[in-house]
Structure 1
Amino acid sequence: MLDSGLLFCWKPEIRNQKGGYLSMAGLTLTAHCKTLTPMLSGGANPRETFELRAQSVKGALRFWWRAFHAYETEAKLFEEESRLFGGKMHNSSDNQWEAVASSFRLDVFSDLHTKKVLKPGRGSGFGDNISSLWGDGIRYFLFPVLHHKGMIHNSGKGGKPVVREGLRFRIRVFVPDGNKAVLEDMLRALWLLMNLGGLGGRSRRGAGAFVVEKFRPALKELSLSDVPDFDCGSYEEPAKYIKDGVDMIRNKWFHIKPPFSLPDYTAFRPGHSEIHVCLDPDCRQGAGALKAMEAVGQRMKKFRYINPYEEARQMHHALTGEGPTQPKFKVLEKAQMGLPIIYNFRGRGQFDNKREPPKIVGGYKAEGVVYDETRRKPNEKSEKNVNRRASPLLISCHVFKKRPYAVICHFPAPILPDGQRIWLKSKRGDHDHYPKAPTGYDYTDRMLKTGDVINGKKLPSIFSAFRECRKLYSRPRAVASVSVQKAAKPLSRPGTGSARPPQASARPVRPTSVPEPGKSLKPPALNSAPEPDESLEPEDLEKQKINCLRKSSARKDKLPWFLGEISGPPSESGKKQKWPCILWYLEGETLKKEPDKWYVRNKQLSSVSRVKQEKDSLFLCTKKSDAHTPSQGQYLYNIAAVPK
C-alpha cells in the first residue's frame, strides 16, 4: 500500500516547491478523513468483512453531485454526469450509445488496525450487551444489522460488521489531464457528502458521518475557485457554515431559474426541499456526534412506533381476526419515509389494552406493485414493481467546537412511479391490501417539527430534542398538500457507483430516466409555481429580533432589555416548571447571543398573555429582578411581550 501523500499515476511527476504533487499532465489530491459515527460497509462478503471500497465512495459522490445539479432536461443531466463519472453517452452521429470513461481515478485507504471491527450476532457478545456502548437511539438506527436478545434477530446471519467512530481513512483523487474543473466538482460533491450525508449502510440515518481533517497538498496551494471551506473554525455557528457552502454550490451548479419543479428522484430543489441544522441535543447518552445521533434516534423510535395508529390497528386486526380481513385505509402515510416497510405484530389484544405474551404473530411487507385502476387488479408478477424507495429524509451528525449538531435534509420526490400502488403483502393468510402511495408530507412534518398525540400520549418531535434548530431551506406549506402522482425515476442510489445504462437491444434504447433530446421536463401544474413561504428565513428572523430590541422602550430602573427565545420543552413540573431559553442582545447594530444556559419560570410566562408557552416564542426580559438585587443563577425576570 502506498502512502497517501505519494502520487499514484502512470505519467512522469514533479514536486512543486510547496510540497504539492503534480504530474506532467495530471493532478492528485488526498483527503485525510475520520469517521464521527459508526460505519457499515462491506465488499464481496459484507456479512464477514468490513471494507470501505472506492466504488462506494465514488457512488456517494455521484449521488450528491446529481442531487445538487439542475438542468433544463434530464438528458443533459445524464450526459454531464456520465462525462464526469463515466457511463453511457449517446452519439448523435451514428445514433449509438457509447461507453465513456470517468474523468478521474479514485482510491481509498482505510486504517482498520486503529479501530476494532465489531461483528454483531449470537455468541459475539456484541448485540446482547451493547447498552453501555450505544443508547436506544443508535441501536434503533442500526437495528437491521444488530442482534437483539429476546427480540427479532437476523436469523442466525450474524448481522454485518460495524466499525466504531474514529476510523481514519484517505480518499485520493487523480485527474489524468490536470483539469482543475474536474477536481473542483469532486471537492464540491465531497463537501456535500461530508456535511449532509455519510458513507456506507444506514448513512441516511446518521451512520458513516465523517470529517475531512486535512488535504495534501493544501487546497490553498491549488488556486481553486467556488469550492466551499472544509474548515468551519472561522464561523460562529454551524448553520451559517452550512448555508454558505450550500449557496455557493447551488449558484455554481444550478443551470435553471426558479420556480423549480418537484424532482423525479431524491434531489435538492429550493421551494420543495428542506435543510435544518439542529444544535445542542438534550440527551444524556453519548458524546460528540454520537450524542446528536442518539437524540434523533430516540425521538424517531418513539414517534414511529404504532404511528400512524389507525394504519397499524387495521393491519393488526386483519391478521388476528379482531376486525375485517383486509385493512380499509386508502393511503399508507408511513410510506412517506420510504419502502419497503416491514411490519411485525404481537398477539391478540395489542391495540385493546389486553395483556398477552409478546408473541410475534406475523405482519406485512409494504412495497410497490403495478396496479390496473380500471380493473382494480394488481400485477404482482410484473418486473416493473418497485420493491425499494430510499427514504427522502437524510440525517448527518457532526460536532462544531465541541457542540454536537445534526443536519437534517428532507428531499421529497414521488414514492412510486405513475401506475403503481403500495402492495401490503400479508405474512399470514390472505390479508393483502393495495393502498395508494402518499403524495403529501404531513407524517414527516409532524415527526420533525410538531410531534403528535396517539391515544392521549404525546409524541415529541425530533426538533424538540435540540436546544436550537435553524431552518436553512424550507418548503411552502401549500406544496405539502399537493396530490399529484408523478413518475418516480430513480437513477442510482448512493453507493452504486454508476447510473443505470440502457439495456442492449436491436436499436439504441434511451435510459428510462432520460427524455428525448431538446425536450424539457414538464412539471405538474400544481408544483410549477410554489406559493411564497409564510415562515421566515434565518436572515429575516435575525432582522425580526433586532427590530424587537430596537423598539423596546427604556426601563425606568435603567436595566437593559434582553430578548428571550424559548429553545426547547419545559423541565420539571408544577410550580418548579421552567423553560430553557436563548438570550439575545444588541451590540451596536449587531445581534449577539448571551453565553450560558438561561431559564424562564412557567408562572412568569403565564402572567403575560401575548407570550406563547412554546418553542421559538420571543419575549423581552432582564437578567436581574431590579437594579439593586443580584441575579439568582441563570433565571430571567420582568417578562414582557415584544413590541408590535
Structure 2
Amino acid sequence: MAGTYYAPEAPSLVDLKTRMDNVNKRVEKKDYLIHVVTHMVGGSSYSGKVEEEAPIKGASVRGHLRFWWRATRGTKYTTAKELFAQEKLIFGSSSEPAPVKIWVDSKKKASSPTAQMIVNSKGRLVSALCNELNSLSYVAFPFQDKKENNTYFPMQTGFTFTLNIQYEQQTKEGALSVEQLKEEMCAALWAWVNFGGIGARTRRGFGSLYCEIFSPNSKEASDNKAFIDWFYGKLRNNGILSNVTREWTTLGGIMVQRGYTNHLEAWKAGVATYQYFRRRATLRGGKPQGRSYWPEADAIRGMTKMSIKNHSEPFPPKQAQLAFPRSQFGMPIIFHFKDNKSNNHHGRDPYDSQLTPNNRDRLASPLVVKTIAVSKEQGYSAFIRLNQPQIREVKLEIIEKSGNEASIRIIRDRLRGRKIYHEAIYNNQKYDNNPLAHPDTNKVNSNAIEAFLVSKGVKEWQDAIGTPPSHKQTNKHPRQ
C-alpha cells in the first residue's frame, strides 16, 4: 500500500529574514581607506622592494596587526601561553583557519618618486628624493645605494589602498563572536595606523599611515594636551593596559610636540632630536664632531686592546671601562673608527665591529620616532615608547672586511668568550657629560630610553613645532 507524502511547509518571509539575520551575524566585512604619508620601502612580498603591481600585501598587514594586537589587547594576559591561546582564536594557526580574513585592494599601481633634479643647499645638482632623505640620513642610511652616491632604493610616496577585513564566527566551542573579533581587531588597527606603518623601518618613521576612522581629527588633536587626552582615552576605550612589562613587546607612553605641521617637517624634527642625543660628543665649530661622550668606543678599545696614542685613555675620564648603554635603542650596532691608518692592530683604533643580542641577529628598538597623522598632509612629531623585557646579554664581533688577516684573527681571539652582561648594558656610573644624566639633577638613569625622554634636547623639541634650531647639525658622525 502506497504511503502518503506530505510536502514540507514553505518557510514564511519572517523565517527567511531570521535565517539571513543569523547568517549576517556570523559574517561581517569592513573596509578602510588608508593613506601612506611618508616614504615607504617594502611592504610587499620582497624585502626592501616596492612592487609596482602589488606594493602592499595582505600578509604583510596581517603580520603588523598581530604585533599590535599583542602590544595592546595582549597586555591583559600575564603569560605567553595565555596570550597565544587568545591570539589563535583571532588569527588562527598552522592547523586552524583564522576567523579574520585580511586582504588589500588598490586601484592604481605604485610609482616611485620621479627623478626630479634640484640644486641643493651646497649648490650641487641632486634628485629631489635624495635631497629630502639626506635630511633624514641618520635613519635612511640602510636604503642608500653605496655604489651610486646620493641615490636611494625605490620608494613609494602618497599611495592609497583599501584594507578589507572579514569577520566570521566559527562554530567550534570557545570561538569568538563577530562582535568580539571586531573589538579585538579595533585596538590593533588603531595602534597600527597611528604608531606603526607599512614596509621597512617603521619604527624610524618610514611608511607612516593615515586613516580617517582611526587617526585623531583636528579637534581631538588641537594641541599636545588634547592629543595626550585622546591617546589615554583610546587606551581606556580599547581595554589596553599601558606601562606594563610582559614577555612580549607592549605599548607604553607617548610624547608629541606642542602642535602639528607637515609630515616631512614633523618627521625630521623627531629624527634630528634623536640624532642629537645619540651623537653626544665634544663640539667642533659648534657641532658634535669630537670624541663621543658615550662609553662604547672606549669599551671596545679596552676589549680589543687597540687604540691610537691620543685615544689610549678613556674619555671623559672616570667613565665605565665596559658599558654599552646604546644597545637599549636596538641592535645591531656597527662601530666604525675613523683613525685606522695602520694595516695591522698595532697603533690604530679598533677594527669595524658589530654589537648584537646574544644568540640573536637583531633587537627591534623600543623607541618609535615618527609623524602621527591628523590628516593626509599634516601630523605631530612623536616619540612612542614600547615596553620590552630587559636585555640580558650582548656580544661584540669583528666584521672588518679589509686589513691584515692575521691581525684580525688575533683580535677575534681576544673577543671570543668575552661576556657583556646586564650591568654593562644598564650602567649608571657617574662621569662628566654623561648623556644618561638628568639635565637638572645630574642623576644618571641606567634606562637609556627614559634618559632620552627627559633630556634637554627632548624638552626643546617638545616646546617647538618642527626642528629646534640647536638640533640642526651636520650629517658627519662624531669621532668614536
TM-score, L = length of structure 2 = 0.66
Q: Which residue of 2 aligns with 1:264?
A: 247
Match of 1:302 among 276, 285, 306: 276
1:422 equivalent in alignment to 2:394: yes
Structure 1 residues 80, 301: CA separation in 2 closer, same or farther (over 3 Å shift)? same
Distance 1:62 1:34 in 2: 20
Q: Which residue of 1 aligns with 2:454?
A: 449
1:63 equivalent in alignment to 2:67: yes
Q: Which residue of 1 aligns with 2:405?
A: none
SS in 1 for 2:40: coil
Q: Which residue of 1 aligns with 2:192?
A: 193
SS in 2 for 1:198: coil
Structure 1 residues 463, 60: CA separation in 2 closer, same or farther (over 3 Å shift)? farther
Aligned partner of 1:194: which letter? Answer: V
Identity score, percent: 20
What's the CA shift string for 1:14-71, capped at 9, x where partnerless?
xx9xxxxx95842111100111111122444335543311111111111111112322
CA contact (8 A) 1:28 1:172 kept: yes
Residues 527-606 of structure 1: pairs in structure 2 closer than 5 A: none
Structure 1 residues 135, 261: CA separation in 2 closer, same or farther (over 3 Å shift)? closer
Distance 1:195 1:368 in 2: 28
1:334 equivalent in alignment to 2:334: no
CA contact (8 A) 1:340 1:387 kept: yes
Aligned partner of 2:300: which letter? Answer: M
Distance 1:135 1:83 in 2: 42
SS in 1 for 2:76: coil
Match of 1:407 among 356, 359, 382: 382
CA RMSD of aligned residues (A): 4.0
SS in 2 for 1:405: strand
Q: Which residue of 1 aligns with 2:233?
A: 247
What's the CA shift string for 1:369-414, capped at 9, x where partnerless?
3xxxxxxxxxxxxxxx122111000123034477641231112323
CA contact (8 A) 1:338 1:415 kept: no
Q: Which residue of 2 aligns with 1:279?
A: 258
Structure 1 residue ranges without an equivalent (≥5): 1-15, 17-21, 89-98, 120-126, 215-228, 282-286, 350-358, 370-384, 452-460, 470-566, 572-644
CA contact (8 A) 2:104 2:164 kept: yes
Aligned partner of 2:28: which letter? Answer: L
Aligned partner of 1:365: which letter? Answer: Q
TM-score, L = length of structure 1 = 0.50
Structure 1 residues 176, 146: CA separation in 2 closer, same or farther (over 3 Å shift)? same
Q: Aligned residue pairs: how many?
A: 370
Residues 284-363 of structure 1: pairs in structure 2 closer than 5 A: 288-305=262-279, 307-315=292-300, 318=304, 321-322=307-308, 329-348=321-340, 362-363=351-352
Distance 1:274 1:441 in 2: 18
1:204 equivalent in alignment to 2:190: no
Structure 1 residues 568, 192: CA separation in 2 closer, same or farther (over 3 Å shift)? same
Distance 1:128 1:147 in 2: 14
Residues 463-542 of structure 1: pairs in structure 2 closer than 5 A: 463-467=459-463
Structure 1 residues 254, 450: CA separation in 2 closer, same or farther (over 3 Å shift)? closer
Structure 1 residues 360, 55: CA separation in 2 closer, same or farther (over 3 Å shift)? farther
Q: Which has the higher contact order (CA 8 A, sep 6+)?
A: 2
SS in 2 for 1:279: coil
Structure 1 residues 343, 300: CA separation in 2 closer, same or farther (over 3 Å shift)? same
Structure 2 residue ranges without an equivalent (≥5): 1-16, 18-22, 116-124, 170-176, 282-291, 342-347, 401-407, 427-444, 472-480
Distance 2:238 2:191 in 1: 13
CA contact (8 A) 2:195 2:368 kept: yes
SS in 1 for 2:273: helix
SS in 1 for 2:109: helix
Structure 1 residues 240, 205: CA separation in 2 closer, same or farther (over 3 Å shift)? same
Q: Which residue of 2 aligns with 1:81?
A: 87
1:41 equivalent in alignment to 2:42: yes
Structure with the higher fraction of residues in strand conformation = 1
CA contact (8 A) 1:232 1:238 kept: no
Structure 1 residues 31, 325: CA separation in 2 closer, same or farther (over 3 Å shift)? same
Structure 1 residues 231, 275: CA separation in 2 closer, same or farther (over 3 Å shift)? closer
Distance 2:184 2:334 in 1: 38
CA contact (8 A) 1:363 1:427 kept: yes
Structure 1 residues 319, 107: CA separation in 2 closer, same or farther (over 3 Å shift)? farther
CA contact (8 A) 2:61 2:198 kept: yes
Structure with the higher fraction of residues in helix conformation = 2
Q: CA deviation at 1:423?
A: 0.9
Structure 1 residues 399, 254: CA separation in 2 closer, same or farther (over 3 Å shift)? closer
Match of 2:101 among 89, 101, 105: 105
Distance 1:74 1:278 in 2: 35
